[in-house]
Chain A
């Protein structure tokens, strides 16, 4: 259904459609909206941080509020902005790239989104209810267990709910890739974005349960008086660090791998070349994911684990540079000899290469244990991970949005504004973060509310703050671009002369994606058909009935129940009457589960006649 068609319907009806939808393309819109909203909130928090640090001994924010700001900036950007934006891309494109009509579990897909959204809202409610969490996004115990007020309680409950949504989403994409590929779409013919999303989903599956346990322990220590991290009762705070980073390190690869896939697709499309070293790219991605589970303690070099553990984790970490290097060189080799078009999507992707290489470079540097004793918990580390997360993930998301916007919304984003966004953001980014490498080495620890005028850190911080304003400007231009583009004319099915299956169907696709499932004859299936002169996919099946899942309001209600129960958990420490809210919310959620089990959901069929009536 096109945007134009939906606009004719009433607002209420559109809203109801989105609240109950199980269509992966609409869920992509929801994730994009939710993730985009939290990205803006996280961005405002970042700007407030930079304003506070514009000059020495500043008092723009109070010390306590500053700690809330850094905690929420990190938590929001990682869990509520980057992750859902990646899920938006996966939802929008992955089923199309493998020639599927939908994801494996449309109902769970919707459930995953609503859990994320309600978790995010719950976390952000803390701003209005006595203060946000203030123990850092890493929430190290015992600072987090002893933090007064309810801030950290909101962190625990919000992330627990949002995390459940992420886990569900991860499993859904795994099964989708395993079971839903079109005929001929073997594993080694899948586009790199699909591959990378698949591997990132494996990471989600094995990393998020560790976070679940960690949050559970933290929650019980704070709300029910257990002693996991209470040293006076034999507890041990280092356990939290281990559990958090056993989750946390794979998490950063969850954030980057899907975007590696995006760059691979964008490069090969706009260089008009097949991806160089496809097999090596796939195995390098797997290797990065595998090693990603072996290196968590490099976040803990200064904890006192001893030289043996430190050295092992150091060398394992350095090893990740090898597959990452393979990828960088393969991308360059893909571009080599190509016929390169440079547009907005390509600018973001091209900017990624030097930026991420610098991030990888400092990555090896921070893996160097004895040097990390100086880098650890300073602005050097801040600079490093912003080079990889912004330079990789955010650049990648922008590249993907410019590339796939026609497929997601049926409009091509405007080039002029796209370039303006890119250049202001790109320059602002390097201005903000390059100098922070030096600030760290000059003695500025991270999470510092103020630095002092005699510390020699004034100039660097001022430059950094100026850069942040450039980035903010770039984001505003992007929003203007999105708004203006909505009135532009409809995009063609294949605006970029694409190579993969998503370009073989309309922009945006009909809700069943493909009228007839396409037959895949090799890597870059659409390119193969084009280069053989046919220009479109051969169907793998005769035109027939299409089975579609029913919409459902239950995922929304289930998540709402947990959201309400979350408040019960948080406030029952003050007043036991809140236990009623806790139990009520949980019972409501369980009730929706029972309804779901009791009521068969067999979906509906689109008849052959109906399909024939619809134009290609």
Chain B
């Protein structure tokens, strides 16, 4: 038995080493390398509670191993009848009181951090973004700025950005582990949380509440750029002319097809409030197609022709006229030209 236990320990140790070698996961995704205010607060508590709890585990394990070593049935003493102890008041008091003290050590900073992270007062003076969760994409409306966009959320570094979140269908949950913990996006009420990124970067966001077949494909990105770059991005986005004619023959044909096939019924370009489908104002600058695929023309064409093959259960499938491969290529050419700003994920050092 002890031999087995020993082997188990070695296995666990090897496992942990493997983990350390592979790092703490992908940078800009993992919660273990915080790049923002909320994530940092959470990690502080994670570390504190882990340390306290490991202390408890250590004590339990010391007692446990001692018991197993000292009090196993021994040869020649098979019939030994131990003393029938009823209990011990002092001991029982000790192991009631010490855990209480340990819990208070965790509970106080927890409560402080909980109130800190729940602040909504600051939103009056800060940048506000209305976030809408949809099956299976995210919409961002920059409050009072006449900017609508989807999938990629641009924010300035070093300041708190308040997100007012609501769902258009089922419950989703907004989670960018590297910057902040998550908050649910409910259909009946608006939830407010703030995020603050310390440094520039493209942070990976995920939906964290089961929302249907493509729940695991509802990725989005938070792109943190310097405040100056953000200013630039805002003014670029505000000056978009949705009717601007595309350059090049195929792209122009694509633009016409975009109208003919009534893509506009769902997809807005510019600050139109239509949000049946994702807003495409800066589609050419997207980090990924549909949040999960590499941003290539081939993938865009595949999406246009058969979105079901990429995101099962999405709302686009079956709700638009058939598009031939040739037409899809033209539309893709047009969409790739929608690059209103110089400020893109590359500005954030991607």
Q: Do A and B interact directly, with beta carbons closer than 8 Å?
A: yes
Q: Is the CB of B71 within 8 A of A338?
A: yes
Q: Is A44 part of the binding interface, using a Cβ–Cβ cutoff of 8 Å?
A: no
In angstroms, how far is the closest chain A Cβ from the Cβ of B32?
5
Whether, in the assembled complex, B45 has its beta carbon less than 8 Å from a beta carbon of chain A, the answer is yes
Question: Which residue of B24, B170, B181 is within 8 Å of A373 (Cβ)?
Answer: B181
**How many A-B contacts at CB < 8 Å in the complex?**
314
A328 at the interface (CB under 8 A from B): yes
Contacts of B158 in A (CB 8 A): none
| A303:B117 contact, CB within 8 angstroms | no
- Is the C-beta of A306 less than 8 angstroms from some C-beta in chain B? yes
Q: Is the CB of A142 within 8 A of B171?
A: yes
Would A328 and B114 count as touching, CB distance under 8 A?
Answer: no
Contact with A along B38-71 (1 / 0, CB 8 A): 1101110110011001101100110110011001
A:388-412 near B, CB below 8 Å: none
Given contacts A441-B30, A445-B207, A459-B18, contact A430 B96 (CB under 8 A): no
B88 surroundings in chain A (CB, below 8 A): 276-277, 333
Rounded to whole Å, the gap between the CB of A476 and the closest CB of chain B is: 20
Q: Is B319 an interface residue (CB 8 A)?
A: no
CA of A318 to CA of B48, assembled, Å: 14
Least CB distance, B344 to chain A, in whole angstroms: 19
Using Cβ atoms and an 8 Å threshold, which residues of chain B touch A370?
A: 41-42, 45, 110, 113-114, 116-117, 181
In the complex, which of the residues A271, A279, A371, A448 has the most CB atoms of chain B within 10 Å of its own CB atom?
A: A371
B residues near A565, Cβ cutoff 8 Å: none
Q: Which of B124-132, B144-152, B209-217 contacts A (4 or more CB under 8 A)?
A: B209-217
CB-defined contacts of B110 to chain A, threshold 8 Å: 311, 314, 368-371
Q: Which of B19, B96, B116 is the one whose CB lies under 8 Å from A460? A: B19
Taking a contact as CB atoms under 8 Å apart, the answer to whether A337 and B71 are in contact is: yes
Contact indicator B8/A427 (Cβ below 8 Å) = yes
Chain A 59-73 residues near chain B, CB threshold 8 A: 62-64, 66-67
Q: Does A24 contact B (CB under 8 A)?
A: no
Size class of the contact patch on chain A: 35 or more
Within 8 Å CB of B208, what residues of A? 302, 376-378, 445-446
A63-B213, A354-B64, A442-B25 given; A463·B107 CB < 8 A: no
Q: How far is the CA of A231 from the CA of B168 in the complex (A)?
A: 10
Question: Do residues A304 and B56 form an inter-chain contact, with CB atoms below 8 A?
Answer: no
A290 vs chain B, min Cβ distance (A):
16
> Which residues on A sit within 8 Å (CB–CB) of B41?
370
**A435 interface residue per 8 A CB criterion:** yes
Is A482 on the interface with B (CB-CB < 8 A)? no
Q: Does B312 contact A (CB under 8 A)?
A: yes
Question: How distant is the Cα of A364 from the Cα of B19 in the complex, in angstroms?
Answer: 23
Cβ contact within 8 Å between B49 and A368: yes
A272-B81, A304-B191, A325-B99 known; A456 vs B182 contact (CB < 8 Å): no
- Chain A proximity of B255: nearest CB distance (Å): 32
**Least Cβ distance of A318 to chain B in Å?**
5
Q: What B residues does A371 contact at CB under 8 A?
A: 42-43, 45-46, 49, 110, 181
User: Is there an interface contact between B115 and A377, defined as CB atoms closer than 8 Å?
Assistant: no
Q: Name A423's contact: one of B4, B61, B173 (CB within 8 Å).
A: B4
Asked if B19 contacts A435 (CB within 8 A), the reply is: yes
| Pairwise interchain contact A143-B26, C-beta atoms closer than 8 A | no
CB nearest neighbor in A for B19:
A438
CB pair B183–A302 under 8 Å, yes or no, is: yes
Is B1 located at the chain interface by the 8 A CB criterion?
yes
Interface string of A263-277 (1 = CB under 8 A from B): 000000001111011
- B49 touching A135 by the CB < 8 A rule? no
Closest to B79 in A: A339
Assess A442 versus B32: contact at CB under 8 Å? Given A143-B212, A307-B114, A314-B110. yes
Please state if B8 and A441 are interface contacts (CB–CB under 8 Å). no
The closest CB in chain A to the CB of B165 belongs to A304
- Smallest Cβ distance from B208 to chain A, in angstroms? 4
| A146 touching B170, Cβ below 8 Å | yes
B189 beta carbon closer than 8 Å to chain A:
yes
Tell me the bound Cα distance from A273 to B73 in angstroms: 13
CB-CB nearest in chain B for A148:
B313
A306-B118, A325-B99 known; A442-B82 Cβ under 8 A: no
Identify B87's interface contact among A67, A276, A332, CB under 8 A: A276
B287 CB to nearest A CB, Å:
12
> Are B113 and A339 in contact (CB-based, < 8 A)?
no
A328 partner residues in chain B, CB cutoff 8 A: 60
The residue on B at minimum CB distance from A423 is B4
Using known A-B contacts A354-B64, A447-B210, determine if residue A368 contacts B45 with beta carbons closer than 8 Å.
yes
A486 within 8 A of B: no
Point out the residues of chain A lying under 8 angstroms from B217, CB to CB: 63, 449-450
- Are the CB atoms of B30 and A373 closer together than 8 Å? no
Asked if A326 CB lies within 8 Å of chain B CBs, one says yes
The verdict on A361 contacting chain B, using a C-beta distance below 8 Å, is yes
Q: Does A291 contact B (CB under 8 A)?
A: no
| Inter-chain contacts of A274 with B (CB < 8 A) | 84-86
Residues of chain A lying within 8 A (CB to CB) of residue B259: none
Q: Which residues of chain B come closer than 8 Å to A342, judged between CB atoms?
A: 1, 72-73
**Dominant SS among interface residues on chain A:** helix
Q: Is the CB of B80 within 8 A of A318?
A: no
**Known interface pairs A140-B171, A306-B118, A370-B181. Does A273 touch B19 (Cβ–Cβ under 8 Å)?**
no
Q: How far is the CA of A357 from the CA of B212 in the complex (A)?
A: 35
Structural contact, A456 and B183, CB atoms closer than 8 A: no
Tell me if A443 is interfacial: C-beta within 8 Å of chain B: yes
- Residues of A close to B111: CB separation below 8 A: 311, 314-315, 369
On whether the beta carbons of A365 and B103 are closer than 8 Å, the reply is no
Is there an interface contact between B67 and A280, defined as CB atoms closer than 8 Å? Answer: no
- Chain B nearest CB from A505 CB (Å) reads 23
Q: Which residues in B have their C-beta under 8 angstroms from that of A271?
A: 71, 82
CB distance from B17 to the nearest CB of A (A): 12
A62 and chain B: residue at smallest CB distance: B312
Interface string of A247-291 (1 = CB under 8 A from B): 000000000000000000000000111101111100000000000
Q: How many angstroms from the CA of A269 to the CA of B292 in the assembled complex?
A: 57
Q: Are A63 and B214 in contact (CB under 8 A)?
A: yes
Is there an interface contact between B187 and A231, defined as CB atoms closer than 8 Å? yes
- Output the least CB separation between A366 and chain B (Å): 9
Question: Hey, what's the 0/1 contact readout for B1-39 against A, CB within 8 Å counting as 1?
Answer: 100100010011001001100111110011110000011
Cβ-based interface call for A136 (8 A): yes
Find chain B residues with CB under 8 A from A456 CB.
22-23, 25-26, 29-30
Whether, in the assembled complex, A358 has its beta carbon less than 8 Å from a beta carbon of chain B, the answer is: yes
Judge if B330 is at the interface, Cβ distance under 8 Å. no
Instruction: Give per-residue flags for B172-197: 1 if the beta carbon is below 8 A from chain A beta carbons, else 0.
Output: 01010110111110111101000000
Asked, given contacts A430-B8, A441-B25, whether A435 binds B103 with beta carbons under 8 Å apart, the answer is no
Query: Which A residue sits closest to B94, measured CB to CB?
Result: A329
Checking A341, A358, A438 against B57 with a beta-carbon cut-off of 8 angstroms, the contacting residue is A358
How close is B350's CB to chain A, nearest CB, in angstroms?
A: 13
Q: A332-374: which residues lie under 8 A (CB-CB) from chain B?
A: 332-333, 335-342, 347, 350, 353-354, 357-358, 361-362, 364-365, 368-374
4 cross-chain pairs, A with B, having the tightest CB-CB distances, nearest first: A373-B181, A442-B25, A456-B26, A370-B113
24 intermolecular pairs with C-beta atoms under 8 Å apart: A63-B313, A143-B210, A236-B188, A271-B82, A273-B85, A302-B181, A302-B208, A311-B111, A322-B96, A330-B87, A330-B92, A336-B63, A337-B71, A347-B1, A369-B110, A373-B38, A373-B181, A376-B173, A377-B208, A441-B24, A442-B24, A442-B29, A442-B30, A460-B19
Q: Could you list 17 further interchain pairs (A-B, Cβ under 8 angstroms) beyond the known A304-B189, A340-B71?
A: A63-B213, A67-B215, A134-B213, A237-B171, A238-B188, A311-B115, A318-B106, A321-B103, A326-B96, A329-B91, A364-B103, A371-B49, A441-B31, A442-B24, A443-B26, A443-B30, A455-B204
Chain A residues with a Cβ under 8 A of chain B = 62-64, 66-67, 134-136, 140, 142-143, 146, 231, 235-238, 271-274, 276-280, 302-304, 306-307, 310-311, 314-315, 318-319, 321-322, 325-326, 328-330, 332-333, 335-342, 347, 350, 353-354, 357-358, 361-362, 364-365, 368-374, 376-378, 423, 426-427, 430-431, 434-435, 438, 441-443, 445-452, 454-457, 459-460, 463, 531
